Chains A and B, each alone.
Chain A
């Protein structure tokens, strides 16, 4: 079992819809969670970090963390074609000094 799992997609949503991206992880002691966006041929760009259970909102983006169920999700409201990219989930294990593991990413396609 991979330590951080994401559906590879593509997740296709119409412009203006809500895109929901999910990430599950294997270790209950994980404490830091990150979402990055990566356009094709470019470097990862940080969207959001979340450290405690619940929701965290930043503009059109909302990260949701549920440590009991071991998943973190990213919602993108009012999706735009410019949101089309691969979204990477990253999780630290054992307090962050030991491991930071990235998922393989979910490709999002927003069509007009």
Chain B
């Protein structure tokens, strides 16, 4: 039981490049989330998906798109990367359909945009 997995672990992009961060969970959870974490700041929710086929904006959605591919997988896409998107990105999942449920996090992706 791997829990929540993320790929890649590290990535360096040039400004304007695109990339997709992958996330998968094997806990049969209904909801999945994408966060970013910047130094001195708390985790900020980018997008979440309460169930397969649905996605909702979080606190900082601009510059990102998401896809809930199936119950297990939730991807985050940066269409045109900017230096302001340099951050650590975490995927998380939870059993319930609202943000009131306990969330379990993946190991993170460290992204640098130059």
Contact = CB atoms under 8 A, between A and B. Distances in A.
A43 B107 contact: yes
A55 interface: no
A22 interface: no
A90 B100 CA distance: 10
Interface residues of B, number: 20
Nearest to B108: A43
A103 B44 CA distance: 9
B28 interface: no
Contact of A96 (B58, B99, B107): B99
Chain B contact surface mostly: loop
B61 to A, nearest CB: 13
Nearest to A43: B105
Given A43-B107, A44-B90, A88 B102 contact: no
Contact of A92 (B40, B99, B107): B99
A100 B98 CA distance: 10
B27 interface: no
Given A43-B90, A43-B108, A44-B90, A100 B99 contact: yes
B58 to A, nearest CB: 8
Interface of B: 40-45, 58-59, 90, 98-108
Closest A-B pairs by Cβ, 5 of them: A102-B42, A96-B100, A100-B99, A32-B100, A96-B98
